[in-house]
Amino acid sequence: MPERRLPPTRRALFAALLLLLLALAGAGAAYRAWQARHQQNALGRAIFQGEVAVPARLARHAVALPPLATRCANCHEDRAVLPLASPAPPSSAATILGAGAAVAARAAASAPATFAVRLDAAWLAEPHVRRGGPAVAYDAARLCRLLRSGIDPANIVISPTMPRYDSTDAQCQALWAYLQSR
């Protein structure tokens, strides 16, 4: 029986089509992965800036704090980039408030740039020491544990000034992804 074979031009065409389909599938997967990462980063940023609230309490307290008090940016962002400033007062009030504003401006200028450390990928990757404990760096799981329990990677409890968060795995992974992008 004669063997049925495709003419070489057809075979080349099939091969090209197959390659094209594979390339499209690959590009689609890469795009979906990029999109997922982008959405995760956006969620992390929104939590950090307080646009998405994660329920949180003071250590050893049952009552939930208001979302404005729990956004990470309050304490871990440079004051200069934090949108906390109230709009400029009208000019007549400005005269009256002028002296007060000058005092406030001087106080702000002499205050430290952030209340707690400015969190970013470099800081989290670098081992740090707290109260004589071993030097430790962060990973996603360690960040999640710290947020929920206040226990740092060296098993030392951090200051009660920082709220304790009921963050889900997804929220905490998103925060980690965002902090890695800073």
Where on the chain is the footprint of ligand HEC (CB under 6 A)? 70, 72, 74-76, 115-117, 119, 128, 130, 143, 146-147, 152, 158-159, 161-163, 165, 175
Closer CB to ligand HEC, 46 or 97, in the complex: 46
181 Cβ contact list (under 8 Å, min separation 6): 41, 121
Give SS3 for 68: helix
Shortest distance, position 89 Cβ to ligand HEC, whole Å:
27
Closer CB to ligand HEC, 75 or 97, in the complex: 75
Closer CB to ligand HEC, 101 or 142, in the complex: 142
CB 150 within 8 A of CB 162: yes
State the Cα–Cα distance between residues 159 and 123, nearest whole angstrom. 18
Residue nearest to ligand HEC (CB): 72
Shortest distance, position 169 Cβ to ligand HEC, whole Å:
14
Q: Which amino acid is at 36?
A: A
33 Cβ contact list (under 8 Å, min separation 6): none
Shortest distance, position 81 Cβ to ligand HEC, whole Å:
16
Shortest distance, position 174 Cβ to ligand HEC, whole Å:
10
Closer CB to ligand HEC, 115 or 140, in the complex: 115
Closer CB to ligand HEC, 101 or 118, in the complex: 118
121: closest CA among 52, 166, 179?
A: 179
State the Cα–Cα distance between residues 173 and 33, nearest whole angstrom. 15
Shortest distance, position 170 Cβ to ligand HEC, whole Å:
14
State the Cα–Cα distance between residues 132 and 147, nearest whole angstrom. 21
